[in-house]
Amino acid sequence: MELPEEYKRGFKDFLGIKIDLSKRPLIPRPETEHWVKWFIAQNHGKIKCLDLFSGSGCVGVAVLKNIKDSICHFGEIDNSFLEQIKINCNDIDDSRYKIIKTDIFSNINEKYDYILANPPYVAKNRISEVGEDVIEYEPHIALFSGEDGMKAINKFIAEVKNYLNDGGYAIMEFDPQQKGEIKEGEFYKDQFGEYRFVIIRK
């Protein structure tokens, strides 16, 4: 089985930004790119965001590089991915971002206008549907979350409004098959016509 091309090359293009993958975080997906592009188009100026389950930091880095005067904090549990985020923020003014080691909201002590979340959501009982190269090389911590894939999602939804400013919202990516399990929010489709992200407003 061959190492994914993006790891061989050492980076992935995400909204025109070269995202370093030297620490082997989850390879950014086009479905994620789609909703991040949508989010950027809605916003400008002084916004404060949290990129949670950050991995490579691609979501927050895209926000910082595309929305002038934005501030973004990155939340991630894995030490090597915290390093990865730092690498991907190397040409951004360090007054505009903060990198936080956190298990979902465990070390988050502030409120945000927007929370952008790409949690692990692959159900362990659907592992046979995941590509062998993904299982072999990509980080399981960023892929799997309990038998039904809902463990991190449920915890995130239960707590997210505590960390949003009034009038703010969270965007969360999920597996289209989980739509029926998510009881709150407005659902949106990706570029492939699949329900892929939900907006939860405060």
How many Å apart are CA 190 and CA 177, to the nearest integer?
13
Output the six-digit token pair for 37: 């592009």
**Predicted local confidence at residue 2, as pLDDT:** 87
- pTM to 2 decimal places: 0.95
**Predicted local confidence at residue 147, as pLDDT:** 84
**Predicted local confidence at residue 79, as pLDDT:** 97
> What is the dihedral angle through the alpha carbons of 76, 81, 85, 90, rounded to the nearest 10 degrees?
150
How many Å apart are CA 130 and CA 27, to the nearest integer?
14
**Predicted local confidence at residue 130, as pLDDT:** 82
In sequence order, the 6+-apart residues with CB closer than 8 A to the CB of 102 are 52, 75, 76, 77, 108
CATH number of 5-201: 3.40.50.150
**Predicted local confidence at residue 41, as pLDDT:** 97
pLDDT tens-digit readout, 12-32: 999 999 999 999 999 999 999
Break the chain into its structural domains and give their ranges: 5-201
Q: Which residues of the chain have pLDDT under 50?
A: none
How many Å apart are CA 13 and CA 199, to the nearest integer?
25
How many Å apart are CA 135 and CA 155, to the nearest integer?
24
